[in-house]
Amino acid sequence: MLPNPSYCKNSPKSQALTVLGFSKIRTVWPQSSYYTSFVHNHHVHFSRNSIKLAYKGASFMTAEGISTAMFSISQPDLLANSTRKYTMYCHITGAGTNSRDFQWSPFPTEMTGVSVIVPSPSGSKLLIVRNGEKGCPTKLEIVDQSHVAKEIHLGQSLHGPLYTDEWFHGISWNQEETLITYIAEAPPQPRPVFSDSGYRKGDSSDEDYNTWKGQGDWEEDWGERYSKKGRPSLFVLDIASGEVRAAEGIATSLSVGQVVWAPPSSSGSQKYLVFVGWLEHNGFHNTARKLGIKYCSNRPCALYAIASPFERPETDNKPVCDGKSDSAASARNLTASISSAFFPRFSQDGKILLFLSAKQAVNSGAHNATDSLHKMNWPSDWKMDKELHVTEVVPIVMCPEDGCFPGLYCSSILSNPWLSDGCTMILTSAWRSTEVILSIDVLSGKVTRITPEDSHYSWSALTIDGDNVLAVSSSPIDPPHIRYGRQVTPERQARRWTWDEVDSPLMTASDKVKSLLSHHSVTILQIPVTNASGDLSDGGKLPFEAIFVSYKDSSHSPTVVILHGGPHSVSVSSYVKSSAFLASLGFNLLIVNYRGTPGFGEEALQSLPGKVGSQDVQDCLTAIDHVINEKLIDASKVAVVGISHGGFLTTHLIGQAPDRFIVGAARNPVCNLALMIGTTDIPDWCYIVACGTEAKQYASESPSPDHLRLFYEKSPIAHISKVKAPLLMLLGGADLRVPVSNGLQYARALRERGGQVKIMMFPEDIHEIIIPRSDFESFLNIGVWFKTHLK
């Protein structure tokens, strides 16, 4: 299902970039009467110390104690219905002092046709990737500080476009800056050729007017976002020769991603690659089906190692992926003892390999769950036949004590997350209804929250600068600000982190936006659980939370209840353009993190599977009752909106509590699980949410009549006869997660019963509805719909 943008396991991941890494943030500048939105996604890369800095004109200089940040900025172009990409630089001076100066380039530079930019470890070179479209070659450019040093054109016969998404993506320079490894689409399988006389034996690379290519065998894909994309495969580029080789010894049943270079061996004789591999046999009863992987961290995966194709000995061994072979020519499973391993990161000295695990999600079936952090000691003389022992660094937190660390919930790890001591890593994680930055001592396992505790702001680490952290903070009513974190030791006080605000042209919101949100305030509310059932664990009985954004005298203003998807995702207290837009129209916002939301401990999260349509619905009603009883809102002016599972809750609420909501809006909602089970890319999700985690044992592509009946009873369509509120339905025509038939069936049935429903269809869009014009039009219409019915 679709999580809230704030947290999801497949949200933007770290690239293997320079000495330091990247992250992603979003901001909006509404303008005009309906506030045209401009969304800026910022990726930041760092290079540091005694480096050459390229300045305007072709001049260069070498500077000690200067860090240079390169920001990659994307901005939707509504007129062209596409996304523009820019780069912008910031030079940071004053290393080792308490006063730092940030000098920004005067203007961003547009990078037309660029898919991704990856600096080398020293910062002296760039890899620029220009993915080919519609069968055109992919271009790789190696850029020195004054010119393009090499340009490599790669045709479809070698591989397709590079993966630059947030899950399979992986691009990594080796330390010598002579080789680059990356993930790209495997070349397409040969297709049969036909003429008007029938099948013509053999494949033909050239079509003439008398022949055409047929379809060939259908191949499974990884579902939503990955339809029509080739199998993720591993390649290595030799920069000097321009030669590209595919990694050998990896079975075709394995999809790969997140590749990094292992540290050079002490003998220097062998170079290894470490990557994440997902076996395609993850369908029901271990059948060969690729269940949807987007937003789904419960797909089994492991870390594998393989020799570089430019280094491997000439052997004739067959590829294996089970870790049982000691052949240097075959991929070796490094984490066979654990069901999930991803985001591999080597320590700066190369002695430790760290990784995250979603083993709790894999083992329970929940599509997201609490993460754990693990490590392996990496010998300097490691060979493929040597076993590595996995040690847990940060365990799963089941039931956190009040105010204490609730567990890890990470959507990414920086490409280089290490402070200079080599044993402290920096992570961004959900912590109840906020996002925080953590430091983790990987030797002791100690976890420390380094961002302010007395704040309703959410924080995200962008990259590391020595012992300092470049980050971004925001709240639902305060657009993002760049912050620079450093450790200080006040007199007679313990060492602590302080966060300086950075004056940045990237974050300059217009005065109009600030004035539109100046009358709002933010509170995070603790909502006690009412009527807790006897079978609940202790964590399932703990209070959940809601973020309340109040407008002026909130008790007289209409309120919009906002519900995240997942259901195992979280709405954190960060700036989100669509929510800010609704707030700017004069609405209160009640953003509910019902039980099942990550960030509150594993027991609370696991309390929801098997109880959707009841426990989560009751939590939403309890949160509304709470703000009514506190006299914070007007009970007669309440609207509700949600996407995916949030749409599931929206349509449940207007059916189960028809007199409590004036109006509703749902984006790609789940309305009928019995219909969804046979059309979605994640049929296992239907079983888990409706039947509980034990459903893994009997889930099937052909559900029994009893299961179909249960799916229907758990669905909003079972309550459709009671709906009174007008409903706006927004649907993506290319949605593979919750296919359009789900929303259309509900809307047509509602209309059949005399209900008021408006349908908006975005034929080319997917589950998220992310094409620039679709995104703009959808939240614009939600605002107009609510304004019309909440007068």
Return the active site residues.
Answer: 644, 735, 767
Residue pair 273/294 in contact by the 8 Å Cβ criterion: no
Residue 78: CB partners within 8 Å, gap ≥ 6? 36, 772, 773, 776
Cα separation of 770 and 578, whole Å? Answer: 12
CB-based contacts of 100, cutoff 8 Å, min separation 6? 92, 93, 94, 484, 500
How far apart, in whole angstroms, are the C-alpha atoms of residue 574 and residue 305? 38
Confirm if 69 and 105 have CB atoms less than 8 A apart.
no
Report the distance separating Cα 559 and Cα 561, nearest Å.
Answer: 6
Tokens representing 674 are: 């019995």
- CA–CA distance, 28 with 41 (Å, rounded to integer): 10
What token pair was written down for 344?
Answer: 């591999």
Count Cβ atoms within 10 A of the Cβ of residue 68 and give its class: 0-12 exposed, 13-18 middle, 19 or more buried. Answer: buried
Query: The tokens of 710 are what?
Result: 């249960």
Residue 766 identity (one-letter amino acid) = I
User: Would you state the structure tokens that stand for residue 489, as one six-digit string?
Assistant: 């030791």
CA dist 354 → 46, 171, 362, 503 (Å) = 21, 18, 19, 34
Distance from C-alpha of 588 to C-alpha of 785, rounded to nearest angstrom? 16
Cis ω for the linkage preceding 683 (within 30 of 0): no
Three-state DSSP class for 47? strand
Q: Are 305 and 272 in contact (CB under 8 A)?
A: yes
d(Cα 217, Cα 459) in Å, to the nearest integer? 47
The set of residues, in sequence order, having a beta carbon less than 8 Å from that of 565 and lying 6+ positions away, is: 1, 2, 3, 4, 642, 643, 644, 645, 646, 647
DSSP for 251-307, written as a single string: -TTEEEEEEEEPPPPTT----EEEEEEEESB-SGGG-SB----TT-TTS--EEEEEE
* HSE-CB of 459 using CA atoms within 13 angstroms: 25
CA angle, 737 then 742 then 744, to 5° = 130
Burial of 352 (0-12, 13-18, 19+ CB in 10 A): buried
Query: Long-range CB contacts (< 8 A, 24+ apart) of 105-112?
Result: 108/73, 110/84, 110/85, 110/86, 111/72, 111/85, 111/86, 111/87, 112/85
Which tokens in the block code for residue 165? 């998404």
Tell me whether strands 757-762 and 727-732 are parallel, antiparallel or unpaired.
parallel
Strands 352-357 and 559-563: unpaired
Contacts of 461 (CB under 8 A, 6+ apart): 23, 414, 417, 426, 427, 428, 437, 469, 470, 471
Instruction: Identify which of 577, 461, 371 has the alpha carbon closest to the alpha carbon of residue 12.
Output: 461
SS3 state at 104: strand
Q: Decide the pairing of beta strands 588-593 and 126-130.
A: unpaired
d(CA 143, CA 147): 6
What are 153-158's contacts with CB under 8 Å, separation 24+?
Answer: 154/244, 156/132, 156/187, 156/188, 157/187, 158/187, 158/235, 158/244, 158/246
Q: 14 in the Ramachandran plot: left (φ > 0), alpha (ψ -120 to 50) or beta?
A: beta
